[in-house]
Structure 1
């Protein structure tokens, strides 16, 4: 499989302009989703941000978030 010649340059720009957390969020948002998913990736991110902002309980584990996704 050949690599599109524009991709390495684009990857470099992304790395230079965005934080690791922002890049991880972008990857989550463009990753394929399950056909049985009830929410789009961006909707899920918004819900998780709201829940994280409530600080009423401990944070969800990565495993729990992955299962919910």
Structure 2
């Protein structure tokens, strides 16, 4: 669930990068590159955790 959310965040950041510098109503400016970079880092951390969980000794999984 968290990995899927991070991947959606990454795509959202990628989409926002196309409109960099455009102000939203109320003067808010979204930074697509920052959102993309944060999501990429989150994905990297989660994939490392998944890899480490998959590297557990097989005795744990056999009954």
Superposition TM-score, scaled by structure 1 size:
0.30
**Comparing both chains, which one has the higher relative contact order based on Cα–Cα distances under 8 Å and sequence gaps of 6 or more?**
2
Superposition TM-score, scaled by structure 2 size:
0.32
